[in-house]
Structure 1
Amino acid sequence: MNNLDEIFSESQSGGDYARRYISYLSELLRSLDVEAVEKTIEVFQKARSDGKTIFFVGNGGSAATCSHFAEDLAYGTWTQGKRPFRGLSLADNAAYLTAVANDECYENVFVGQLRNLLNKGDVLVAISASGNSPNVIKAVEYANSNGGITIGMTGFDGGKLKGICHHCCHIRTAKGAYGPVEDIHLVLDHIISTYLMYMLRKE
């Protein structure tokens, strides 16, 4: 059983389930490796100063987090007269994604875009709760082999992703706890993006 199975089985009502879920999220937040978060911030700041692009890849709920994170980074931090962050989600171009999936294979939907877009020194943020999504793994391997800097955001036991990224924000949970992992990944987006927004305003 994962933690949500236990939370549900012990809950007496919807409200009780909500309280237990919130308590579990609080535990996960307290367990965050803030040094990994700080390293991610440093990598993003260097990418900005060097004029590099920060790409995001993920599937399903993680794809939605990619879109949200890229928007928060590129527009949410935007400050008049300051060099912007270049953030782009590779989960958003339906025509490109389906063309690659149809003509090649689904595992190449992100690599197919990186072949055209990735430059040396660019950053790839790979978001996957399991850490084992084949198309995400291939994207990281491609970036690693072509001068990219890779950051993983994962859950469960970290999967393969944890071991192949240069840096990783890992939310350790029971296998299958997708919701809580995705919740924390979005919190990481807001922690990182709001910090960078305030730093730009301070410059």
Structure 2
Amino acid sequence: MRDPGAEPTSVSAAAEAVVKGYVDDLTLALAQLEAGAMADVLEALVLALSEGRRVLVAGNGGSSTAAIHIASDLMAASTAFDGAPQAVALTENIARITAIANDYSYDEIFSRQLPGWARPGDVLLLLSVSARSANLVRAATVGRDLGMTVLAALGDPGELASLADRYVIFGQADYGLTEDLHVALGHMAVRVLSGGDACRYRAAVDG
């Protein structure tokens, strides 16, 4: 921890400026979040799980790990539902992804997984900053053909907004802010599944 009385270095001064700027940008992104659109996406996720449907999640780069995070949280939070609901990230099996990319095309790494997982009425949640990734656009098209409900959480409308049944745009197309809010979407879904209550660490609540 830096001595508060010490003269700031050029690096620490720059870092502090970035921290403040980032917090300001994230605060603005949250203030600009369209609550109704977010609620529509969350409603579709929760209804699908409550009906025993599958929720399949996909994204590239940082959004690929957000997909795993969201799927894991949704599974943990939906155990009270009957019908064995499932939330699966299409990014979690590296062997499958690289096999599809090698044998076919990187553009098909998600779409080629869908016929094996998806049933009519299942949900496909796509996470993207640009909303233009070819593999996500193809997944949305195939998902619609399979009778899935396509949801999208985007930094920019791109091509995916027109292919989605419901979508929300947030983060001002800044990859960091949008990816932060991807994870926040998952955590909001967990709160809805938990009846609106905060999910606090037990020891912190007990003191």
After superposition, what is the alpha-carbon deviation per residue over 1:75-129, rounded to whole angstroms, capped at 9, x for unaligned? Answer: 14434xx436421000011111111111111111111110211100000000011
Computed over aligned residues only, the root mean square deviation of the Cα atoms, in angstroms, reads 1.9
TM-score (norm 2): 0.83
Once the two structures are TM-superposed, the CA of residue 172 in structure 1 deviates from its matched residue by 5.3
Unaligned runs of 5+ in 1: 1-10
User: Are the equivalent residues in 1 in contact too, given 2:77–2:193 (CA < 8 A)?
Assistant: no
Indicate the residue corresponding to 1:149 in structure 2. 149
User: Which residue in 2 is equivalent to 1:184?
Assistant: 181
1:165 is the counterpart of 2:150: no
Choose 128-137 or 43-52, whichever is displaced more: 43-52
- 1:37 and 1:14 map into 2 onto residues whose CA distance is 32
Contact 1:78–1:197 under 8 Å retained in 2:
no
Give 1:34 deviation, angstroms: 0.9
Q: Is the 8 A contact 2:54 2:87 kept in 1?
A: yes
Structure with higher Rg: it is 2
Larger displacement relative to structure 2 (38-47 or 22-31): 38-47
What count of residue pairs does the alignment treat as equivalent? 185
- Tell me how far 1:20 sits from its aligned partner: 1.4
TM-score, structure 1 as length reference: 0.85
> Aligned letter for 1:152?
A
Tell me which residue corresponds to 1:197: 194
Return the alpha-carbon distance in structure 2 between the equivalents of residues 51 and 77 of structure 1: 10
State whether residues 58 and 128 of structure 1, in contact with CA within 8 Å, keep that contact through their aligned partners in structure 2: yes
Corresponding residue number in structure 1 for 2:53:
52
Q: In structure 2, how many angstroms separate the alpha carbons of the residues matched to 1:49 and 1:77?
A: 8
Question: CA–CA distance in 1 between the matches of 2:100 and 2:92?
Answer: 13
Find the aligned partners of 1:172 and 1:18 in 2 and give their Cα distance.
16
CA distance in 2, matches of 1:117, 1:66: 16
Q: How does 1:2-17 map to 2 (within 5 A)?
A: 13-17=14-18
Corresponding letter in the other structure for 2:69: H
Give the corresponding residue for 2:22: 21
Supply the AA of the counterpart residue of 2:187: H
Match of 1:127 in 2: 127
Give the letter aligned to residue 196 of structure 1: L
Q: Report the equivalent of 1:138.
A: 138
**In 2: Cα distance, 1:117 partner to 1:180 partner:** 30
Offset at residue 45 of structure 1 (A): 2.5
Q: For each residue in 1:14-60, what CA deviation from the matched residue of structure 2 results, as whole angstroms up to 9, or x when unmatched? A: 11210111011011001111111211222122212321100001111
1:6 corresponding residue in structure 2:
none
